[in-house]
Amino acid sequence: MLNVHNLHASWGEVDILNGINLQIKTGEVHAIMGPNGSGKSTLAYILAGKPGYKVTQGEATFYGQNLLSMAPEVRARAGLFLSFQHPSVVPGVRLDQFLRAGFNAIQKSNGHDELDPLKFDRLLRKKTKVVDMDHAMTKRAVNDGFSGGERKRNEILQMAVLEPKLTILDEPDSGLDVDALRTVAQSINQLRSPDNSILLVTHYQRILDYVIPDFVHVLINGRIVRSGGKELALEVEDQGYDGFENSPEAALSSGA
């Protein structure tokens, strides 16, 4: 599905990614862990096509197609979805209308019929139940008056509606209390299937108690320095990132 090879990227004059290698197959869940400033969100943004970042070396393909050459909307229509770490309020844009526009754009690009407001509302009612969200909230402006947990739940609702092939979750656990974290994690698990994949970006191990990954990667100084199973996340929780920052791979990526 996704193949990233020797990816280097910068923001302005600052080098952020220093040779990312990552392969995600259909049906897999991968977790990226790392301290602040390690390049986790940058990797997510570059895969989704956020403007401002410059890829200086390497490649990324999505189902064999050159991902980096695609416009962000083309990537979305191809089945790639990014949930935001800090979802924004969009005044004047009703959530259900926003979701219907995105859903129908993908339907049209895939040669399927678009849904009228009534049919889409029936679909949306089913999806709000999946993420344990009050359907009435979809009649409000996007994230308007939503709590932190409700905003994160809205991101998962978008995932549920759009049914992407690859979902990139940028710190879906940040700012959540234990109960909200459990609700968001349970929603993510309900949306997992053999036909889609997830790349979950996080600082902490705690969400991985609920969303069990197939692979965990530790990102330091713009490079993946260790990969493993769920036990690697427990190792991070136990010793922090200090031991990984002193690894030869991390030293290499920092230019030491």
Q: Mean of the pLDDT values across residues 95-110?
A: 94
Average pLDDT taken over every residue of the chain: 90
User: Which pLDDT belongs to residue 179?
Assistant: 86
Residue 56 has pLDDT above 50, yes or no: yes
% of residues, the chain, pLDDT over 70: 95
Q: Mean of the pLDDT values across residues 58-68?
A: 95
For the chain, the DSSP string reads -EEEEEEEEEETTEEEEEEEEEEE-TT-EEEEE--TTSSHHHHHHHHHT-TTEEEEEEEEEETTEEGGGS-HHHHHHHTEEEE-SSPPPEEEEEHHHHHHHHHHHHHHHTTPPPPPHHHHHHHHHHHHHHTT--GGGGGSEETTT--HHHHHHHHHHHHHHH--SEEEEE-TTTT--HHHHHHHHHHHHHH--TT-EEEEEES-SGGGGTS--SEEEEEETTEEEEEESHHHHHHHHHH-SHHHHTSHHHHHHTT-
Q: Mean of the pLDDT values across residues 85-89?
A: 86
User: Which pLDDT belongs to residue 30?
Assistant: 97
User: Which pLDDT belongs to residue 155?
Assistant: 92
Could you give the domains of the chain? 2-253 (3.40.50.300)
pLDDT in tens, 165-204: 999 999 888 878 888 888 889 999 999 999 999 999 998 8
User: Which pLDDT belongs to residue 253?
Assistant: 44
What is the pTM assigned to this prediction? 0.89
User: Which pLDDT belongs to residue 247?
Assistant: 56
Residue 45 has pLDDT above 50, yes or no: yes
pLDDT in tens, 136-158: 999 999 999 998 888 988 999 99
Q: Mean of the pLDDT values across residues 60-85?
A: 93
The model's confidence at residue 86, banded by pLDDT at 50, 70 and 90, is: confident
Residue 48 has pLDDT above 80, yes or no: yes
User: Which pLDDT belongs to residue 252?
Assistant: 45
